[in-house]
């Protein structure tokens, strides 16, 4: 097996030199300002060893990667009853698409497209005030990432709300069908704020350990969720974590992964490693272009694909 440090150093150098880097998300000004030349990667192994490359300690907007953590928390609250309000199938459509909602009576295809994540946020709130739900989400992330400084970028959250007409449409549409049950403005507020959480690759990779290691964080001796639930969240990441690019991600990388329009990707090699990569340039489907390429190289070099 090649040496992980050497592999990450090679990948980081290659990604730094790459000239085709995709395009930074431009739907809100705060994301548009992020320099395209950034690249970071972090890997955390079962024994707690952390190997990093590039800008691994620079926080970025985790955006839709937050949907993995809100799903974890909402399942903790509602159990499998959550699946009455959200499906488990890949959508084959862009992350903010509304078309399937009409055919499917307001039930979103999966928890990782925007509609699904908004419904999950509603489940997670369940009578709580927005501030309480956000505090719970931050508390969880600070614990699993072992970093008390993880915070919400308020400027990003504000812009999300100012430009979030499509997300408001999705939420209202689901409210009409009773899939979203709480106050639409409150649910959207929490959704925009959890998307606006900023984290570094190192902290994101730490946060993904419970998914990589059967629901536990081995070095903390902490059980976060049961192994069945971790396995299922990983299955959803593999099938739905990259929207209409999920098939291609599974084909080229072969690991469960969740992307965000900030350019981050959280990926897990079950039993072996939790991985986070960040390159803000996106491909046409809104997934990090170099993030995928870097993960493809890493999974191949270390033979970490779940498909053998």
Beta bridge mates, 257: 267
Quote the tokens at residue 69.
């953590």
Q: What is the DSSP secondary structure assignment for residue 63, as one 8-state letter?
A: G
Nearest to 220 by CA among 276, 136, 140, 143: 143
Contacts of residue 219, defined as CB under 8 A and 6 or more positions apart, other chains included, come to: 47, 48
Output 277 or 302, the one with its CB closest to ligand GLN. 277
The reply to whether 289 sits near ligand GLN by the rule CB under 6 A is no
Q: According to the binding rule CB under 6 A, does residue 278 interact with ligand GLN?
A: no
Phi, psi (rounded to 5 degrees) for 24: -65, 140
Report d(CA 156, CA 158) in Å as an integer.
Answer: 5
* Nearer to ligand GLN (CB atom), residue 8 or residue 253: 253
Indicate which single residue of 96, 128, 181, 252 sits in contact with ligand GLN (rule: CB under 6 A): 96
Catalytic residue among 64, 91, 259, 274: 64
Q: How many residues bind ligand GLN (CB under 6 A)?
A: 11
Closest residue to ligand GLN, judged by C-beta, is: 64
CA 108 – CA 87 distance, rounded (Å): 6
Marked catalytic residue, from 179, 261, 265, 277: 261
Q: Which is nearer to ligand GLN, 95 or 304 (CB)?
A: 95
Q: Of 120, 144, 190, 243, which is the active-site residue?
A: 243
Quote the least distance from Cβ 216 to ligand GLN, whole Å.
28
Residue closer to ligand GLN (CB basis): 82 or 115: 115
Closer to ligand GLN by CB, 64 or 72: give it.
Answer: 64
Determine which one of 24, 191, 265, 288 is catalytic: 191
Beta bridge partners of 199: 60
Among 195, 233, 290, 295, binds ligand GLN (CB under 6 A): 195
Q: Tell which one of 39, 60, 69, 95 touches ligand GLN (CB under 6 A).
A: 95
Interface with ligand GLN in residues 238-267 (CB under 6 A)? 260-261
Shortest CB 265 distance to ligand GLN, Å: 11
191 in active site = yes
CA distance linking residue 68 with residue 268, whole number of Å: 12
Return the H-helix or E-strand segment holding 29: helix 29-32
Q: Name the nearest CA neighbour of 291 among 37, 60, 39.
A: 39
Instruction: Tell me: does residue 167 bind ligand GLN (CB under 6 A).
Output: yes
Q: Which residues are bridge partners to 191 per DSSP?
A: none
Among 210, 250, 213, 211, smallest CA distance to 233 is for 211
Q: In terms of CB distance, is 64 or 234 closer to ligand GLN?
A: 64
Can you tell me the distance from the alpha carbon of 196 to that of 74, in angstroms, rounded to the nearest whole number?
18
Give every CB contact of residue 52 below 8 A, 6+ residues apart in sequence. Answer: 8, 40, 41, 42, 43, 201, 202
66 within 8 A of 203, measured Cβ to Cβ: no
Active site residue 27: no
Which of 275, 286, 294, 302 binds ligand GLN (CB under 6 A)? It is: 286
Has 64 been annotated as catalytic?
yes
Q: Which residues are catalytic?
A: 64, 67, 191, 243, 261
Per CB under 6 A, residues contacting ligand GLN are: 63-64, 95-96, 114, 160, 167, 195, 260-261, 286
């Amino acid at each position: 097996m090649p040496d992980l440090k050497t592999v990450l150093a090679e990948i980081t150098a290659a990604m730094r030199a790459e000239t085709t880097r995709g395009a930074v998300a431009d739907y809100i000004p705060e994301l548009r300002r992020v320099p395209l030349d950034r690249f970071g990667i972090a890997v955390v192994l079962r024994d707690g060893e952390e190997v990093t490359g590039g800008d691994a300690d620079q926080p970025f907007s985790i955006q839709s990667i937050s949907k993995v953590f809100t799903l974890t928390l909402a399942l903790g609250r509602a159990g499998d009853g959550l699946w009455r309000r959200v499906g488990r199938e890949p959508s084959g459509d862009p992350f903010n698409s509304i078309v399937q909602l009409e055919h499917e009576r307001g039930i979103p295809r999966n928890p990782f497209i925007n509609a699904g994540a908004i419904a999950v946020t509603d489940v997670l709130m369940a009578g709580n005030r927005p501030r309480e739900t956000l505090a719970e989400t931050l508390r969880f992330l600070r614990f699993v990432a072992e970093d008390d400084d993880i915070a919400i970028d308020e400027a990003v959250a504000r812009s999300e709300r100012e430009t979030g007409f499509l997300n408001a449409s999705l939420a209202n549409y689901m409210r009409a069908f009773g899939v979203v049950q709480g106050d639409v403005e409150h649910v959207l507020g929490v959704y925009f704020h959890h998307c606006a959480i900023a984290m570094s690759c190192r902290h994101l990779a730490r946060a993904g350990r419970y998914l990589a290691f059967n629901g536990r964080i081995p070095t903390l001796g902490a059980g976060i969720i049961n192994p069945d639930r971790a396995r299922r969240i990983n299955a959803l990441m593999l099938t739905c974590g990259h929207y209409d690019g999920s098939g291609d991600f599974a084909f080229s990388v072969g690991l469960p992964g969740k992307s965000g329009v900030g350019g981050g990707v959280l990926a897990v090699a079950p039993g072996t490693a939790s991985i986070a990569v960040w390159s803000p340039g996106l491909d046409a489907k809104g997934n990090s272009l170099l993030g995928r390429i870097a993960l493809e190289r890493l999974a191949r070099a270390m033979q970490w694909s779940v498909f053998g």
